[in-house]
Amino acid sequence: MNIFKRLRIRHILRRYPVPCDLWRQAVKTLPVAQGLSAVEKAHLRELATLFLRDKKFSGAQGLQLTDAMCLTIAVLACLPVLGLGFGCLSGWTEVIVYPEAFRVAREEPDDAGVVHFTEQELDGESWSRGPLILSWQAIEQDLEDSRSGRNVVIHEIAHKLDVLNGPADGYPPLHRFMDLKQWTLSLATAYRTLVRQVERHHHPCLDPYAAASPAEFFAVVSEYFFCAPDILQTHFPEVYRQLQLYYRQHPLQRNRSETDKVQSNGTIDQF
């Protein structure tokens, strides 16, 4: 990072920190923030500060966005890059939030070249250098039912990370120390298992949407990695291990230490 960028970041962090009360409230109410160490929380607060300065938030269909709502989105968007750096979230600026699921019309040609018009209802969407589009209702539902392993913001950020090195294909730019063969083997094996479960109408061990494509698989397992790491570890331990290496985080460890804290103190330190 060049000196000017570094000075700008320092200026933003000093001049526009997330207010303490707002930050405390966000950390208290976000299940994924539980178990983070004090150092991780401080770093996450810095990343969220940069996110709020760097991105332009707008509410669609009359949705009035509050500071708390924007901070919730910022924290969830920055959690995956806690070990990767804010640079992974650069190259786009817009965050558009709908009150509920939004409709998207598409034109898709089939193999014969005939164009079909389809309309989909989505909770989230992201483009490689375009906006991050979210449904606030979906964000709230994810937070209420955090054990479901679903989180639309983390899902869309995983797509953003995936496309940093080309089209969305479930292969984000891996670290030099990582083994590409091991990544491929772990994720492809798990993906095929899930596709088989869905095709045979067996109860899938993860959200069946993950079977839609390798890109969706990566986005969905990223949601589980942060929100329900025990489920991912139980069903696909090799995938958990690869995501642990990629994200440079160990959410399962966090959950364990949080459980220990509750058992020994009866309370949770939520800041």
Q: Give the shortest CB-132-to-Zn ion separation in angstroms.
A: 12
Q: Which is nearer to Zn ion, 162 or 236 (CB)?
A: 162
**Closest residue to Zn ion, Cβ-based?**
219
Q: Which is nearer to Zn ion, 48 or 223 (CB)?
A: 223
What's at 20, amino acid-wise? C
Q: Which residue has the tokens 């539902």?
A: 141
Instruction: Tell how strand 132-135 and strand 94-98 pair up.
Output: parallel
- Residue 110's CB is within 10 A of a number of other CB atoms, namely 8
How far CA 152 is from CA of 140, 148, 226, in Å, comes to 10, 12, 12
Residues 6+ apart with CB under 8 A from 256: none
Binding mask 168-207 for Zn ion (x = CB under 5 A): ----------------------------------------
What's at 176, amino acid-wise? R
Assigned token pair, 238: 């090799």
Q: Give the shortest CB-221-to-Zn ion separation in angstroms.
A: 12
Give the interface segment with Zn ion, choosing from 39-47, 96-104, 217-225, 240-248 (CB under 5 A).
217-225
Total chain residues near Zn ion (CB under 5 A): 2
Q: Which is nearer to Zn ion, 2 or 118 (CB)?
A: 118
Q: Which is nearer to Zn ion, 207 or 216 (CB)?
A: 216
Q: Give the shortest CB-67-to-Zn ion separation in angstroms.
A: 28
Q: Give the shortest CB-174-to-Zn ion separation in angstroms.
A: 20
Q: Give the shortest CB-134-to-Zn ion separation in angstroms.
A: 12
- Residue 138's CB is within 10 A of a number of other CB atoms, namely 21
3-class secondary structure, 228: coil
Give the interface segment with Zn ion, choosing from 7-15, 76-84, 104-112, 208-216 (CB under 5 A).
208-216
Q: Give the shortest CB-2-to-Zn ion separation in angstroms.
A: 33
By CB under 5 A, is residue 232 in contact with Zn ion?
no
Q: Which is nearer to Zn ion, 105 or 112 (CB)?
A: 105
Q: Give the shortest CB-216-to-Zn ion separation in angstroms.
A: 5
How far CA 144 is from CA of 42, 77, 148, in Å, comes to 24, 17, 9
By CB under 5 A, is residue 134 in contact with Zn ion?
no
User: Based on the number of CB atoms within 10 Å of its own CB, is 148 exposed (0-12), middle (13-18) or buried (19 or more)?
Assistant: middle
Q: Which is nearer to Zn ion, 78 or 168 (CB)?
A: 168
Assigned token pair, 264: 């020994």
By CB under 5 A, is residue 219 in contact with Zn ion?
yes
Q: Which is nearer to Zn ion, 23 or 246 (CB)?
A: 246
Residue among 85, 78, 48 at smallest CA distance from 175: 85
Q: Which is nearer to Zn ion, 22 or 122 (CB)?
A: 122
CB of 112 closer than 8 Å to CB of 130: no
Cα–Cα distance, 100 to 250 (Å, whole number): 32
Contacts with Zn ion, residue ranges (CB under 5 A): 216, 219
